[in-house]
Amino acid sequence: MSAVGLGAMPLSFADMLDHREQAIATIHRAIDLGVTFIDSANIYAPSADTVGHNEALVCEALSLYFGPADISHIVVATKGGITRGEGETWSRDGSASGLKAACEASMAALGVTVISLYQHHRHDPRETYTDQMRGIAALRDLGWVREVGISNATLPELEVALEVLGGPGSGGVVSVQNEFSPRVREDREVLDRCTELGIAFLPWSPLGGSHHAKNLESQFGEFAAVAAEHSATTQEIALAWLLKLSPVVIPIPGATKPATIDSIVHSLSIELTDSQFERLSATEPFGETIYPDSELRSPLR
């Protein structure tokens, strides 16, 4: 997989509905520049009644780009376990039947018979985490998903996932997708465990999310200062910093414009010195998670 992925979520924001060509051009630019990993989810959609929108968009972009050619080198990841209902009620369904139905719908939207990477999106407090992982294992056993990952997971949840699904060498957990950025750095221990086990760590909202990404300069002076030293942008330095945190880090910045992809890929060529890396790491994160989780967590067992 490429060293960075494309987070496809913003391509399905409501304000992108009239810009489908731009959305597809953004995905095509990513492929042009060697990005082979695209992160989607069933719930990335402009409205509750268009769940699967983002998966279908990615499918369309890939088929326009590749036609009938082999696309097995492109990893399209999706997720299940969060639901959206009438009146924009957001909930969870981590039951085995709920995950199975979500996965089947994702296969249809993506136009595939096997999903490259299927991620459990977020815990469902009504189910034990163990049972939710068994639900993911069942999808793997059905042959519907090639690789499995988890998202928004605590360290104890990662350990449960490893117990139920196994580790990366045995068809088990290959990725953990948690929020991590200059703003939010709470899951350092999860990242460290991923590094130890060789599990990919996919920082979501790596620039702080769509509302904060353009304001990094004003919020993080030290990142802006290092950017000036490299004649780079603050966003490029944030991505370079994430990449230097660990060899297992694969940031998945969101983008809605082809030019943004150019900048994202440029970040791969930036070599931070150890002293610059230390200066950036010493800055204080000050953000609350973008999607605060007010519900009780799942019991583990």
Binding site residues, ligand NAP, CB under 6 A? 7-10, 39, 151-152, 177, 204-210, 213, 233, 235-236, 252-257, 260, 263-264
Distance in Å, CB of 216 to ligand NAP, minimum: 8
Closer by beta carbon to ligand NAP, 67 or else 251:
251
Residue 297 contacts by C-beta under 8 Å, 6 or more apart in sequence?
Answer: 123, 125, 154
Sort strands 145-151 and 115-120 into parallel, antiparallel or unpaired. parallel
- To the nearest whole angstrom, how small is the minimum distance from the Cβ of residue 292 to ligand NAP? 12
Contact of 250 with 201, CB cutoff 8 Å:
yes
> Of the two residues 260 and 276, which places its CB atom closer to ligand NAP in the complex?
260
Q: Which is nearer to ligand NAP, 133 or 143 (CB)?
A: 133
Which residue type, as a one-letter code, is found at position 253? P
C-alpha span between 73 and 66 (Å, rounded): 11
Q: Is 280 exposed, middle or buried (0-12, 13-18, 19+ CB in 10 A)?
A: buried
Cβ proximity to ligand NAP, 169 vs 256, nearer residue: 256
Q: Which of 214, 215, 226, 213 is nearest to 181 (CA)?
A: 213
* Smaller CB separation from ligand NAP, 22 or 142: 22
Rounded to a whole number of angstroms, the minimum distance from the CB of residue 84 to ligand NAP is 13
Nearest to 225 by CA among 283, 172, 301: 283
How near is the Cβ of 13 to ligand NAP at its closest, in Å? 9
* Least distance to ligand NAP, CB of residue 98, Å: 17
Tell me how far apart the alpha carbons of residues 167 and 159 are, in angstroms, rounded to a whole number: 10
